[in-house]
Structure 1
């Protein structure tokens, strides 16, 4: 088993690196309503519109427990479901104008860049400890890139979105893609400088549809100078992508945050609502399946 595990690890890493290099050279995501490709459009400096929705973290945990999965599996699953709903509606409008039947394209390549922390020590560290020579949590960024493929399509069983998400994440866990991309980035920066490193990063990111992250937040209520925090909604700006999706947990809430280029995605509230609705549909499917199993037993 150990030998087979090592073979799979090496194979997956090689394939992921080949895809990364291909993306750098020529491989682009399919042109779609989430990815702006108009000539002269600069998503890095374009104004971004930020919207958010708060959903129940307990609902996500319910799906997680019932399907024996992780929070990341469920989050990726509901995102795939929400994007599928949104894109199906978008393509339906486009094809309706052309008097064709509305449906998703049969084959779509939609990926997200995910930053993976590679620090051996998690959490907030003391500055003096981080600056020490033998410190495990060294000062500075220590992150690698992972390219996550999204399975876009309308599923008859809503739980299939989560099952496919789990398969994708399990496959990525058995790979050293993040460590290798971090090492490559460090090598390029040390040899050629930050400008070349930045140009390579921009080229790769601009060929990917979106950025995606899921961050664990405080487990208890916190306050800021005596003011209680209701929720946490982080986002970023300055990368060459028209869509960024953040999930941020806080106590019993999960906040979905979208940062979009309004020139590409004019209705971000609808996209956010589709993701929220997908969670409800998947949760209801889990409850229905549980009731059926209990009735049979």
Structure 2
């Protein structure tokens, strides 16, 4: 279901006025079958005090223009005479734009505390059903497109759960995560803002002068490799948009898939220290381990459900559509300072796509899933596929408008097996208004794919959030358990590998 604009502004807006046009990438999220919301599921260690949370949101969030503005259609008009104006829009010629219009926000309209039925239903299922039902509804366009749901129900995961729902037109996942963390403080020091890990890409410049020719030869070889890989990846991306579809599996969407259908969500948490242990043993990256666990879980699910020989895996094409952020993170400290100055810190959406082949099949050594993921990821690091796909979507926006760009994205995602996204959270434990956080599990609703896996780190934990269309995976809990079992098997294989290496030494 696409969002309908609240109202129409038919007067001219001068450049000096506060109303701002939505960026093309943000405007695209209002197209039919591409109405996407970001859902930040948060578990808390204590029951939630509603009034204190409202006060915190009022003092922090409403200072940001995008959380205190309406998204309203502005129409070009034709003057029939000096007194009369024609207010109509032909969408085919792009006659209308959506703008941010500042408004007065009533926090009570955005903080929702539902009265959940007190029945014999398992509390975990009660919370999961409520979150699932959010995928079938939209935020009313008569107010800023976000809301905060508080579920004071104790589950096996936390003492209470909240869901922060934000329309994707407000910003991308990385920007929203940084903004959300600006409302938190570290548990150890309530005056200190949380920090996101910083990764340095600097390389040493100390080289022997007599090796300069070898250095430039290596650089030339890397450039040729980069150019070749980029051309191949872009051609495969174009082929995917046109005709190249993944093989039919239990995770593949059927023809006529409706992105507005009810979605179901489940999350599973593992130890981040164990993930790093696997990373060190395999000489890989955390993202490689995450992709390896995902491949192992999908393989385990297929073989358990269908059995050996019932589903031919030889030559099967399965790919992950990995979402890559292309904008450098500002940092939580910088965002908090900009919020205090009432400056917009979220600047639309800026991300590209990378198509990575998945290895779906049984392996005697569970570490093989990580090694195969590392090989695929290393290959993609020597390619500009994510940047090229971003600029391709911008080109489609200019040539075919919002509908064409949305259709391109929807086409690519529906032709692949799953979507995968990874968001980095703070390393230390954090709290909001005196409420310590247990976990954070970001995900999406309305994304045009049958299955989506979000991964988010927090303190010493890493959470897998799995979102599926209700008609694609009938036993979602079992799939979630397959992620845990696959993680445990890979961890045990890494421990065995370490013991074996120690004995050999």
Aligned to 1:20: 237
* TM-aligned CA deviation for residue 224 of structure 1: 2.1
Q: CA deviation at 1:192?
A: 2.4
RMSD of aligned C-alpha atoms? 1.9
Residues 87 and 104, structure 1, Cα contact 8 Å, conserved in 2: no
Q: 1:53 pairs with 258, 268, 273, which one?
A: 268
Question: CA–CA distance in 1 between the matches of 2:300 and 2:378?
Answer: 24
Distance 2:502 2:336 in 1: 54
User: Which is worse superposed, 162-171 or 208-217?
Assistant: 208-217
- Contact 1:91–1:104 (Cα < 8 Å) also in 2: no
Asked whether the equivalents of residues 414 and 450 of structure 2 are also in contact (C-alpha less than 8 Å), the reply is: no
* Length, aligned pairs only: 282
Flag the structure with higher strand content: 2
**Deviation at residue 103 of structure 1 after TM alignment:** 5.4
2:349 aligns with: 141
Q: Is 1:33 aligned with 2:241?
A: no
1:282 aligns with 2:490: yes
* Residue matched to 2:372: 164
Q: Find the counterpart in structure 1 of residue 72 from structure 2.
A: none
Structure 1 residue aligned with 2:228: 11
Higher-helix-fraction structure:
1
Which sits farther off after the overlay, 229-238 or 114-123?
114-123
Q: C-alpha distance in 2, partners of 1:40/1:17?
A: 26
Partners of 2:427 and 2:458 within 8 A in 1: yes
Q: CA deviation at 1:139?
A: 2.4
Partner SS, residue 442 of structure 2: coil
For normalisation by structure 1, the TM-score amounts to: 0.90
> Residue 225 and residue 104 in structure 1: after superposition, are their counterparts in 2 closer, same or farther (change >3 A)?
farther
- Indicate conservation of the 8 Å contact 1:83/1:152, yes or no: yes
Q: How far does the alpha carbon of each residue in 1:18-73 deviate from its partner, in whole angstroms, 9 at most, with x for none?
A: 10110111100101101121x4431x101011111111111101111122211001
| Residues 189, 197 of structure 1: 8 Å contact kept | yes
Residue in structure 1 matched with residue 402 of structure 2 by the alignment:
194
Deviations 1:89-110 (A, max 9, x none): 2332xx8xxxxx4455212111
Contact 1:145 1:182 in 2 (8 A): yes
Change (3 A) 1:294 1:251: same
State how far apart, in whole Å, the 1-side matches of 2:312 and 2:428 are.
Answer: 42
Unaligned runs of 5+ in 2: 1-217, 340-344
CA distance in structure 2 between the partners assigned to 1:279 and 1:121 by the alignment:
30
Q: 1:296–1:127: structure 2 CA closer, same or farther, 3 Å change rule? A: closer
Preserved contact between residue 81 and residue 278 of structure 1 (Cα < 8 Å): yes
Q: State the 1:292 CA deviation.
A: 1.4
Match of residue 233 from structure 1: 441
TM normalised by structure 2 equals: 0.54
1:107 match? 315
Find the residue that maps to 1:283 and give its secondary structure. helix
SS in 2 for 1:32: coil
Higher normalized contact order (CA 8 Å, seq sep 6+, divided by chain length): 1
Q: Following the alignment from structure 2 to structure 1, what is the Cα–Cα distance between the partners of residues 467 and 420? A: 11
The CA deviation at 1:120 is 3.8
The alpha-carbon deviation at position 123 of structure 1 amounts to 3.3
Q: Are 1:88 and 1:104, in contact at CA under 8 Å, matched by a contact in 2? A: no
Determine the C-alpha separation between the residues in 1 that align with 2:375 and 2:330: 26
Report the counterpart of residue 265 of structure 1 in structure 2.
Answer: 473
| 1: CA distance, partners of 2:388 / 2:337 | 29
